[in-house]
């Protein structure tokens, strides 16, 4: 297999502020702006708070583990490369392709979402033309330079951060009585069945949704391969971004939980096409902002474009890294004078567009299958990160290296990676319970949602059998920051 590779052809042009906002922007999106209301209506303020706090703690350990690896070996392949070096090249191959597929489908779904949001202002225009326009913009931002991508993501994320801050200020004003006729206080927390309506089952369902809401933080590991100062900027970004995200999510749950009871009918209809009932819109309207729906539609549109922007970046860098290792066509290693793997960018965008086009060819069901089938890939990626970190640390110690020499050392080992693997396993397996009722089993939904699991296993087995790979012994693991893994 091809192994003489490095990240020398990628330009390290991403600054610390870019790295911060890439991770921040990748997780603050429609899950926070829109779906939060549905989570609260399902499990109440207490159940939602517990679920998001638990997932947030797991993500903290995952990201510190990824930070330990990506500062020591800052490559664009990130956890695909680490899995290949410290566990098995076949696992890295399966993780890389599975992750790339997830982002291509994500790009497609964001194009559809953006077109739906535009209908808020232009209901009679062509969705296809808007989606094509947005895709062209995203390709432009990604194909010129990594710095331009980082700069665009900096401003996309900045808009979202300002929105959350204004929301929290307005919410506190309504709760305390500084805004509105009278203080709301804590009366909504005791409405109906109180803090935990629906019991443990409802809480677990939100536990799964919370996991999806935090997805995107792992992109910081991919971006480390183009960071100007990865050993300095990545650890700072991981700590700062995690706590900002955690506080934003927890703060939003508390504010919405205090302002509206979980059984408020307006919270029951949250969705990407129902911007008017976003918890953010409801709070802004009650604070006297009559244009709240229009403002939030614009904010959610920037969130959608931000996610699509990140999708093309993360997908293309993973595809490039796999090509450098001989796990994808070598043609995809070609870069422009600015160090952009433009063929990997165009390939990622093109596959995303093909997925999107299925809905316009009268096969909307196929598109839904693609989205649902890729739904668990992020949890598979997280499991891979946790396992890779566990093996990384064991190999590091086995080769006589000192922990004090690590540019960044994660805390809580081995508890952190073990917790990550256990929680991801519970989430992946537990998802199946939502397709089983007392009366029947939703076989189509079950099969579609879990299609990514057999795909992952097939990729793993195909590569392992074809190249006869074996598990990497701790004493033989490659810690080189230049060469990438050998099979």
Q: Is the dihedral of CA 303, 306, 312, 318 positive or negative?
A: negative
Instruction: Determine which of 4-8, 39-43, 327-331, 407-411 has the lowest per-residue pLDDT on average.
Output: 4-8
Q: Which two tokens stand for residue 324?
A: 């450098």
Average pLDDT across the chain, whole number: 81
Q: What is the pLDDT of residues 141-175, one digit of tens each?
A: 898 888 888 888 888 888 888 888 888 888 888 88
Q: Is 385 exposed, middle or buried (0-12, 13-18, 19+ CB in 10 A)?
A: buried
At residue 384, does pLDDT exceed 90?
Answer: yes
DSSP string across 203-242: HHHHHHHHHHHTTTTTHHHHHGGGBSSHHHHHHHHHHHHH
User: Rounded to the nearest 10 degrees, what angle do helices 279-286 and 230-259 cross at?
Assistant: 60
Q: What is each CA distance from 473 to 86, 140, 327, 376, in whole angstroms?
A: 8, 43, 21, 29
Report d(CA 397, CA 300) in Å as an integer: 46
Q: Average of pLDDT values for 398-416?
A: 91
Q: What is the pLDDT of residues 67-97, one digit of tens each?
A: 899 889 888 778 889 999 999 999 999 999 9
- The residue ranking higher by pLDDT, 440 or 395, is 395
At residue 340, does pLDDT exceed 50?
Answer: yes
440 C-beta neighbours (distance < 10 Å), count: 8
Q: What is the pLDDT of residue 400?
A: 93
Strand partners, 227: 14
At residue 26, does pLDDT exceed 70?
Answer: no
Q: Average of pLDDT values for 211-218?
A: 76
Quick check: helix, strand or coil at residue 62? helix
Q: What is the pLDDT of residue 6?
A: 40
Report d(CA 29, CA 26) in Å as an integer: 7
Share of the chain above pLDDT 90, in %: 20
- pTM recorded for the entire structure: 0.85
At residue 34, does pLDDT exceed 60?
Answer: yes
- Report whether 205 contacts 52 (CB < 8 A): no
- Report whether 427 contacts 211 (CB < 8 A): yes
The CA-based angle 52-57-60, given to 5 degrees, is 120
At residue 343, does pLDDT exceed 80?
Answer: yes
Q: Which of 118, 51, 164 is nearest to 272 (CA)?
A: 118
At residue 5, does pLDDT exceed 60?
Answer: no
Report d(CA 357, CA 111) in Å as an integer: 10
Instruction: Determine which of 159-168, 274-283, 287-296 has the lowest per-residue pLDDT on average.
Output: 274-283
Q: What is the pLDDT of residue 259?
A: 85
Q: Average of pLDDT values for 455-472?
A: 94
- Report whether 279 contacts 270 (CB < 8 A): yes
At residue 24, does pLDDT exceed 50?
Answer: yes
Q: What is the pLDDT of residue 361?
A: 53
Confidence of residue 120 (pLDDT cuts 50, 70, 90): confident
- How many residues make up the chain in this entry? 487
- Report whether 318 contacts 78 (CB < 8 A): yes
Complete domains list, the chain, with CATH: 16-328+371-436 (1.20.1740.10)
Q: What is the pLDDT of residue 167?
A: 85
Q: Average of pLDDT values for 279-297?
A: 75
Share of the chain above pLDDT 70, in %: 87
Distance separating the N- and C-terminal Cα atoms of the chain = 7
């Amino acid at each position: 297999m091809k192994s003489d590779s490095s990240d020398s052809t990628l330009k390290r042009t991403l600054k610390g502020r870019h790295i911060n906002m890439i991770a921040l922007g990748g997780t603050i999106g429609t899950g926070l702006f829109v779906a939060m209301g549905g989570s609260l209506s399902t499990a109440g303020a207490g159940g939602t708070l517990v679920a998001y706090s638990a997932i947030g703690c797991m993500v903290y350990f995952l990201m510190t583990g990824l930070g330990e690896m990506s500062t020591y070996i800052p490559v664009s392949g990130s956890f695909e490369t680490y899995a290949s070096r410290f566990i098995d090249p076949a696992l890295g191959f399966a993780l890389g392709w599975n992750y790339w597929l997830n982002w291509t489908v994500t790009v497609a779904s964001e194009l559809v979402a953006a077109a739906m949001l535009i209908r808020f202002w232009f209901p009679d225009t062509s969705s296809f033309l808007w989606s094509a326009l947005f895709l062209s913009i995203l390709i432009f931002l990604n194909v010129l330079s990594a710095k331009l991508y980082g700069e665009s993501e900096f401003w996309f994320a900045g808009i979202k951060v300002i929105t959350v801050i204004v929301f929290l200020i307005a919410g506190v004003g309504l709760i305390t009585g500084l805004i509105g006729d009278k203080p709301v206080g804590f009366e909504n927390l005791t409405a109906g069945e109180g803090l935990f309506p629906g019991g443990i089952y409802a809480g677990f369902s939100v536990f799964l949704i919370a996991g999806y809401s935090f997805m995107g933080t792992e992109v910081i590991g991919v971006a480390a391969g183009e960071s100007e100062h990865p050993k300095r900027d990545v650890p700072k970004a991981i700590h700062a971004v995690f706590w900002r995200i955690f506080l934003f999510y927890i703060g939003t749950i508390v504010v919405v939980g205090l302002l509206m009871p979980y059984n408020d009918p307006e919270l029951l209809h949250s969705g990407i096409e129902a911007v008017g009932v976003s918890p953010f819109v409801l709070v802004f309207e009650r604070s006297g902002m009559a244009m709240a729906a229009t403002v939030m539609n614009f904010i959610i549109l920037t969130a959608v474009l931000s996610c699509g922007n990140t999708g093309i970046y993360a997908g293309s860098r993973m595809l490039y890294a796999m090509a450098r290792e001989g796990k994808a066509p070598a043609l995809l290693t070609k870069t422009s004078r600015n160090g952009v793997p433009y063929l990997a960018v165009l390939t990622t965008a093109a596959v995303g567009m093909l997925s999107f086009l299925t809905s316009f060819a009268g096969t909307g069901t196929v598109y839904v299958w693609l989205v649902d089938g890729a739904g668990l890939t992020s949890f598979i990626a997280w499991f891979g990160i946790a396992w890779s970190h566990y093996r990384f640390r064991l190999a590091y110690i086995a080769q006589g290296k000192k922990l004090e020499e690590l540019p960044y050392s994660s805390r809580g080992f081995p508890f952190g990676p073990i917790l990550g693997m256990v929680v991801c396993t519970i989430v992946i397996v537990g998802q199946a319970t939502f397709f089983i009722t007392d009366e029947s089993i939703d076989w189509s939904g079950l099969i579609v949602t879990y299609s990514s699991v057999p795909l992952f296993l097939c990729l793993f087995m195909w590569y392992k059998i074809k190249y006869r790979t074996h598990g990497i012994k701790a004493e033989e693991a490659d810690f080189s920051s230049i060469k990438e893994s050998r099979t």
